[in-house]
């Protein structure tokens, strides 16, 4: 189907959506849904519908992400909005018959709170969804990601229509500026201002880039949007193209996201066929094209100047700024680079208006932000929250607190460029100003909850190893600094550290922040510096007492077998790869401490009902030997 004028887009807006009398079963089938068996469940639904002859009563829709990723595959049944988590193929027929046909909710299959036993029927009543403001995620709950019809039925391309038929480019930029939309990639630069700057430059042609190189480990908001609602991102770019005066846009997606790449390729192709991309779009004077670029696996590509090099077909080496990309970007031409989530917000602002958008948020940070709330919280997934919400609300209300009953002791926000904040700072507001004051950053949206089983020194080492591996190596502060910091942290986690090392870490970190070429090197020390600022006692314990309180650092812990709990099943003895477990004088297995490599295999094979193997910390090997032999 081809559209020849903006007016033709209206056909879908009226009517079609309400026309469906069928009940819609919306199954989450993005990457994490598929990893949890969504496609098998989909097949079961399809054959069930056929077998029971329900094709005119029930429609199955494979959608993208519903946000509550931990309970996938999940289904939402419309119009009632009933929610069933962890759907199994064996439950499908019953769901079809009772809920699909009769609209009856099945309590046994609903979401049940472990502690209170309370069962929740509807999506919005789930504790996880309380307190969220889901402008972007809500649109994808019953959207077939690849269907242009469905996108249009959801009000898609109405914003483009408005822009083409009613607004001048300057008016579009003014609207985005007034909305106070800021870059969702983390830096928080004003989107309207960025567009304005690029528009003002005389050089032609101009380009756009969508930065979908979501490299922060522990963050997947952009994957969620790209897989679930690809057209919204493309529509945002088309509006941006018109406003800035660009002729071409590039959607750069990291290669680790094959499903997102596949969907974008197909979506772009569909838009070409529909006359929504290419020459004289919808019969107007606006010509614009989009192209997908598949990343090749380099974290530094997410840095905007490195991203430009990568699109140009070069190594993703960053270069100094200024000149900024809005002046000299792709092939030296003015280039606007925005993050996936930023682009996805653009149609929303045009459709609903800047004043509507800016009602939500704080004085300087408006709208919503999606976070990937993961780690040791009870409920994890993608959460969309109004800016200005406190960390406490996200972690303890939406996330439900710690999954193992203890308290969340810290959160890591902003990935390898961000920092760790302790629980007593959880009243901090999530916005572009408050978080940097505390030494962290808003970042692209990674939010990882940590409990007492996480060692902050080990985590700092993890991030620095990551930065060392991903450093492009052009500038010395980053190349050498990350290596030095890794060596010092390894020394500390293996019990060889000195107190002077902590000052040295701070000095190296400061130098990297000041002198590195690009954002990667300038922010790489943040995880260490914030950990030192808020969790210094943990570092000092590793150094002075040779103790890892979280019992994580392998060289600072020992495994012991509690003979009172041990059943003598000898699973540990058989599993130990180092032959370090032998039968003691009591006839039960015993760990020969000098031979033990603290790999933890025995700990993991010991059956849950016994839990006879424990970890101890703060002791030297010979002390542990004494401890265990003394108990005989």
Residues in CB range of 491: below 8 A, 6 or more apart: 497, 501
Q: Which of 170, 312, 433, 503 binds other proteins (CB under 8 A)?
A: 312
| Binding of other proteins by 617 (CB under 8 A) | no
- # residues near other proteins by CB under 8 A: 58
Cβ 76 vs Cβ 123: under 8 Å: yes
Q: How many CB atoms lie within 10 A of CB 10?
A: 12
82-84 and 23-28 strand pairing = unpaired
Q: Which of 343, 466, 534, 535 binds other proteins (CB under 8 A)?
A: 466
As to burial, measured by CB atoms within 10 angstroms (0-12 exposed, 13-18 middle, 19+ buried), residue 101 is middle
| Binding of other proteins by 297 (CB under 8 A) | yes
Q: How many CA atoms lie within 13 A of 472 on its CB side?
A: 27
Nearest residue to 476 via CA among 520, 529, 515:
515
| Binding of other proteins by 376 (CB under 8 A) | yes
Q: How many CA atoms lie within 13 A of 355 on its CB side?
A: 0
| Binding of other proteins by 295 (CB under 8 A) | yes
Stretch that binds other proteins, among 140-148, 266-274, 297-305, 432-440 (CB under 8 A): 297-305
Closest to other proteins by CB, 222 vs 501, is 222
Shortest Cβ 343–other proteins spacing (Å):
18
Shortest Cβ 261–other proteins spacing (Å):
10
Closest to other proteins by CB, 347 vs 399, is 399
| Binding of other proteins by 252 (CB under 8 A) | no
* CA distances (Å), origin 311, targets 19, 131, 204, 343, 556: 44, 39, 18, 18, 46
Cβ 216 vs Cβ 416: under 8 Å: yes
Stretch that binds other proteins, among 113-121, 423-431, 462-470, 558-566 (CB under 8 A): 462-470
Does the N-terminal peptide bond of residue 416 adopt cis geometry, omega within 30 degrees of 0? no
Cβ 481 vs Cβ 505: under 8 Å: no
| Binding of other proteins by 415 (CB under 8 A) | yes
Shortest Cβ 287–other proteins spacing (Å):
20
Separation of alpha carbons 116 and 151, rounded Å: 39
Q: Which of 12, 27, 63, 72 binds other proteins (CB under 8 A)?
A: 72
Separation of alpha carbons 15 and 49, rounded Å: 26
> Per-residue contact track with other proteins, 216 to 235, x per CB under 8 A?
xxxxx--x------------
| Binding of other proteins by 318 (CB under 8 A) | no
**Measured on CA atoms in the order 184, 190, 194, 199, is the torsion positive or negative?**
positive
Element (H, E) at 83: strand 82-84
Residues 568-587 touching other proteins, rule: CB under 8 A, are 577
- DSSP class of residue 397 equals I
| Binding of other proteins by 443 (CB under 8 A) | no
| Binding of other proteins by 101 (CB under 8 A) | no
Stretch that binds other proteins, among 431-439, 443-451, 531-539, 586-594 (CB under 8 A): 443-451
Stretch that binds other proteins, among 50-58, 212-220, 482-490, 615-623 (CB under 8 A): 212-220
Separation of alpha carbons 417 and 260, rounded Å: 24
| Binding of other proteins by 316 (CB under 8 A) | yes
Shortest Cβ 512–other proteins spacing (Å):
20
3-state SS assignment for residue 581: strand
248-253 and 75-78 strand pairing = unpaired
Closest to other proteins by CB, 36 vs 628, is 36
| Binding of other proteins by 49 (CB under 8 A) | no
Shortest Cβ 206–other proteins spacing (Å):
16
| Binding of other proteins by 277 (CB under 8 A) | no
Cβ 559 vs Cβ 600: under 8 Å: yes
Binding site for other proteins (CB under 8 A): 31-32, 34-36, 69-70, 72, 214-220, 223, 255-257, 293-299, 310-316, 372, 374-376, 380-381, 412, 415, 446, 448, 450, 453-454, 459, 462-463, 466, 470, 472, 577, 599-601, 604-605
């Amino acid at each position: 189907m081809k559209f020849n004028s903006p007016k033709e887009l209206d056909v879908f807006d009226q009517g079609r959506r309400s026309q469906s009398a069928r009940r819609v079963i919306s199954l989450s089938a993005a990457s994490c849904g598929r990893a949890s068996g969504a496609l098998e469940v989909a097949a079961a639904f399809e054959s069930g519908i056929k077998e029971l002859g329900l094709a005119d009563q029930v429609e199955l829709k494979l959608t993208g992400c519903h946000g509550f990723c931990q309970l996938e595959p999940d289904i939402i049944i419309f119009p009632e909005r009933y929610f069933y988590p962890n759907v199994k193929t064996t439950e499908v027929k019953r769901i079809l018959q009772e809920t699909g046909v009769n609209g009856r909710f099945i309590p046994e299959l609903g979401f049940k709170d472990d502690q209170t036993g309370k069962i929740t029927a509807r999506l919005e009543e789930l504790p996880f969804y309380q307190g969220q403001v889901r402008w972007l995620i809500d649109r994808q709950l019953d959207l077939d990601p690849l269907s242009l019809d469905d996108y249009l039925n959801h009000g898609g391309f109405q914003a483009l229509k408005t822009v083409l038929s009613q607004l001048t480019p300057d008016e579009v930029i003014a609207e985005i500026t007034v909305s106070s939309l800021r870059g969702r990639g983390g830096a928080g630069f004003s989107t309207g201002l960025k567009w304005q700057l690029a528009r003002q430059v005389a050089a032609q042609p101009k380009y756009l880039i969508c930065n979908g190189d979501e490299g922060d480990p522990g963050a997947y908001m952009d994957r969620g949007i790209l897989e679930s609602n690809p057209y919204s991102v493309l529509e945002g770019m088309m509006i941006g193209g018109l406003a800035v005066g660009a002729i071409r846009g590039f959607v750069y997606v990291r290669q680790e996201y094959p499903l997102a790449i596949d969907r974008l390729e197909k979506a772009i192709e569909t838009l070409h066929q529909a006359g929504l991309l290419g020459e004289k779009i919808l019969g107007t004077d606006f010509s614009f094209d989009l192209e997908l670029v598949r990343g090749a696996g380099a974290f530094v590509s997410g840095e905007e100047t490195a991203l430009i090099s990568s699109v140009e077909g070069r190594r993703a080496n960053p270069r100094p700024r200024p000149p900024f990309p809005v002046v000299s970007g792709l092939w030296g031409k003015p280039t606007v680079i925005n993050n996936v989530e930023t682009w996805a917000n653009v149609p929303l602002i045009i459709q609903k208006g800047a004043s509507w958008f800016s009602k939500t948020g704080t004085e300087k940070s408006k709208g919503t932000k999606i976070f990937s709330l993961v780690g040791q919280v009870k409920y994890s997934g993608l959460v969309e929250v109004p800016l200005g919400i406190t960390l406490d609300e996200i972690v303890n209300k939406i996330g439900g607190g710690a999954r193992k009953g203890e308290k969340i002791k810290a959160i890591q926000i902003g990935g390898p460029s961000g920092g760790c904040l302790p629980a007593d700072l959880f009243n901090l507001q999530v916005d572009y100003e408050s978080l940097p004051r505390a030494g962290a950053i808003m970042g692209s949206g990674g939010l990882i909850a940590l409990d007492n089983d996480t060692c902050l020194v080990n985590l700092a080492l993890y991030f620095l190893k990551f930065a060392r591996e991903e450093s492009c190596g052009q500038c010395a502060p980053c190349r050498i600094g990350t290596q030095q910091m890794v060596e010092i942290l390894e020394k500390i986690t293996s019990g060889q550290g000195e107190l002077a090392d902590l000052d040295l870490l701070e000095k190296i970190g400061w130098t990297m922040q000041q002198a590195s070429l690009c954002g990667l090197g300038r922010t790489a020390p943040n995880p260490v510096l914030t950990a030192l600022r808020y969790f210094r006692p943990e570092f000092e314990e590793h150094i002075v007492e040779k103790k890892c309180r979280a019992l994580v650092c392998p060289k600072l812990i020992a495994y012991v077998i509690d003979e009172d709990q041990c059943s003598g099943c000898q699973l540990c003895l058989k599993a130990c790869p180092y032959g370090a477990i032998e039968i003691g004088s009591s006839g039960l297995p015993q760990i020969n401490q000098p031979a033990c490599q603290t790999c933890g295999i025995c700990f993991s094979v010991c059956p849950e009902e016994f839990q006879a193997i424990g970890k101890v910390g703060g002791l030297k090997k010979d002390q542990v030997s004494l401890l265990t032999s003394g108990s005989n």
